[in-house]
Structure 1
Amino acid sequence: MYYLHLQNKGNNFAISIIKIMTIAQTKQFIQSSEWVSIVTELRPSKDRATGNIKPFYLWRTFKFSPGDKFECTVINYADAGGKVPLVKIVIKGHNVWQGEHPIVKGAYNVDYVADEAYEITPLHQGFADAVNQAPANGLNKWEVNVMQDIKAKTFPAFGLAEGQIYVDYDLVYILNDLLFMGSKHVDGRAFDTPENRPTNLQIPLMKK
């Protein structure tokens, strides 16, 4: 499906044609490439200890494959320029498509279910020291460049409990070969429940 978009530019009007993809078309399209951040991204994040909002700098890479499978890699940085990496997070699992999202025609609710892996690799001694302050059963002491899978394990730093499979309640929208997902809430809430699903669009990912 296509629709015309009319934009007023001064005394002139510009008309563009926008394709609206079905869920099936969207699934096929996102599997056609690896998706990466355009620049180091900034998100609001809530400090679990104090409740204060703080900046979260990151770089994302997404891969989608048949069978509604996904792999997401996130590098978290200490700085806006992405020069000081803190931790690498790799989440692997399945997508559950939940129908249209009301934000824009062609956007769809998607749940990211981390039922295959939730891998954490400290890249900075400061991060390793911080998470070692709250030891968890089933995990070794955290060391730089040593990965541990926290799937279904207690991990207080990320608010995860024993036996819990993490789910991110998000959205997907394609426009002009760019992949949009949900923008984090300004109060730092995670997408950890259907009620906390995003209501706006995050800076897009581009094809690698």
Structure 2
Amino acid sequence: MPAAMLPYACVLVLLGASTTEPAGATESSRLRWEPHCQQPVSEGSPVTAVLPPRLDGPWISTGCEVRPGPEFLTRSYTFYPNRLFRAYQFYYGDPSCQEPTHSLLIKGKVRLRRASWVTRGATEADYHLHKVGIVFHSRHALLDVIERLNQTWVGQDCVGRLPQATAWLPGALYELPSARAQGHCMAALGFSMHELSLVRVQRRLQPQPRAVPQLVEELYLGDIHTDRAERQHYRPTGYQHPLQSALHHARPCPACALVARADEHHPPVLPRAPAVPLRLGGRWVSAGCEVRPAVLFLTRLFTFHGHSRAWEGRYRHFSDPACRQPTFTVYAAGSYSRGAPSARVRGGTELDFEVTRVRVTPMDPVTAAVLNASEPGSCGAPGAWAVGVERDVTATQGCAALGIRLPHVEYELFKVERDARGRSLLFIGQRPSDGSSPDTPEKRPTSYQAPLVLCARPPGSRAPRPPATPSPPLQLLVAGLALRGAL
């Protein structure tokens, strides 16, 4: 990682990390490593990037997605060989995606350009929108959107292009008629398709019990700015949760067939997932190499000690999208508060985390040189930094060269879910897109990062049984849908 990126990269985002036991911990307080508890959790085969990306075909959400706001949605995008695309975005009033409010139909053209100079492993693209239409699924949803638009002058102009509540027709598509009006209404609605300006396609083989491995294709599109006001200007440097190919997706997937066959008039209503209590005890690890805005590649591993509400963790930072070239590691530890249900994000739990101890390990000569050039007393006790040698920076109240300050409090959002394979997943709040940390209650996240996977349980706990309902195959369904509604 370039030296100039280090201060921005490490503004204390310290919730998420690979953990080690604290010095002096007793054997009885430690969680034993399980054989599969590694960093990151491996699916058993390497990930292969498709370069240049091949976008042709249908791509779908595999579950209910949460965007900053919060916004709850599912997506279904189809790309055609002539570079045209059709995209559906289905919005909901609940975090289970069971209460559709409105749907967007977006048609346009996308052109791949070149490998990104900013985000390694990504491809930059240009896009042009031909048509954007909105369908309201209830009069209440229409009124909610009108109320939001009336809060700005631009939005009030946009309201005139929507129907009056008394004239609303179920299933009617209201199109934004011109490019200028489109841009104004997009800004007022907090909508942008800038996600199409950064693209990555990758493939992996997912092992199957008593069966041949399964091909999974994933489409990563650019991240959405956490500040709604910045979305029209923001150019992504990270990714959202990936879409998966409707033909080659992970199974079982209860939502996939529903999303694949939906359209703007028939939004998918996903099956309700059972509520999972927030039990943090154990170790949680990244499922793969993660990408953050501002050119960050990392893996995380957490340990939570539920009885004492203590936590510890480590970020392992890398300079490449495969997480094979380490740059530095940050170990952090502290305590967290008793959780309270979130009033803004249904299904989420608000927690406050205090960071009281930090250790840093440079893993390449560039990072070691940056730390050795820091002001005396600003990053650990006197002495030379060396590659692979961990040093404590608690006594100097952090490390100014990496943007770490102590003590530090972060206001967090947590959620635990269980996926269709029976794995426990931990979702932690998404970091602000400007590189800061949620160090005030007003900056508490309203969306989530990529989930961590439970890899070691506290002593005496039992693993849940995986769901018995498999996902129906989509190959026959999607073969016809892929060419339906060509532009």
**Match for residue 336 of structure 2 among 95, 102, 107:** 95
Q: Paired residue for 1:174, among 409, 416, 434?
A: 416
CA distance in 2 between partners of 1:194 and 1:4 (Å): 25
Q: CA deviation at 1:168?
A: 2.6
When Rg is computed on C-alpha atoms for both structures, the one with the higher figure is: 2
Q: TM-score normalised to the size of structure 2?
A: 0.36
Distance in 2 between residues matched to 1:129 and 1:93, nearest whole Å? 28
Equivalent in the alignment of 2:315: 74
Residue 114 of structure 1 contacts residue 151 of structure 1 at CA under 8 Å; is this kept in 2?
no
The corresponding residue for 2:273 is: 18
Q: Is the counterpart of residue 189 in structure 1 residue 436 in structure 2? A: yes
State the 1:152 CA deviation: 4.9
CA offset digits 1:137-170 (Å, max 9, x no partner): 1523211121111125252123345xx3122322
* Alpha-carbon spacing, 1:136–1:18, altered in 2? closer, same or farther (3 Å): farther
State the alpha-carbon separation in 1 of the partners of residues 335 and 372 from structure 2.
30
Contact preservation (8 Å) 2:298, 2:315: yes
> What secondary structure does 1:146 align onto?
coil
Cα distance in 2, alignment partners of residues 203 and 41 from structure 1: 8
Structural mapping, 1:121-200, within 5 Å: 121-137=361-377, 138-139=380-381, 140-154=383-397, 155-161=399-405, 164-176=406-418, 177-200=424-447
Measure, in 2, the Cα distance between the counterparts of 1:168 and 1:118: 15
| Cα separation, partners in 2 of 1:5 and 1:55, compared to 1, 3 Å | closer
User: How far is 1:62 from its partner?
Assistant: 0.6
Q: Name the TM-score, length of structure 1 as normaliser.
A: 0.79
Q: Structure with the greater relative contact order (CA < 8 A, sep ≥ 6): 1 or 2?
A: 2
* Change in CA separation of 1:5 and 1:197 when aligned onto 2, cut-off 3 Å: closer
Gaps of 5+ in 2: 1-94, 99-254, 419-423, 456-487
Q: Secondary structure at the match of 1:18?
A: coil
How many residue pairs get aligned? The number is 188
**Residues 38-58 of structure 1: per-residue CA shift (max 9 Å, x gap):** 1111112xxxxxxxxx21111
Q: What corresponds to 2:89 in structure 1?
A: none
Structural RMSD (CA): 2.5
Q: Measured at CA, do residues 147 and 75 of structure 1 come closer, stay the same or move farther in structure 2, by a change above 3 Å?
A: same
Counterpart among 106, 109, 125 of residue 350 in structure 2: 109
Whole-angstrom CA distance in 2 between matches of 1:42 and 1:102: 29
- Distance, in Å, in 2 between the alignment partners of 1:175 and 1:134 is 42
Q: How far did 1:102 drift? A: 3.9
In structure 2, distance between residues paired with 1:103 and 1:201: 13
Distance 2:387 2:393 in 1: 16
**2:362 & 2:96 partners in 1: Cα distance?**
48
Q: What is the percent sequence identity of the aligned residues? A: 26
State the alpha-carbon separation in 2 of the partners of residues 182 and 91 from structure 1. Answer: 17
**Residue identity opposite 1:60 in structure 2:** R
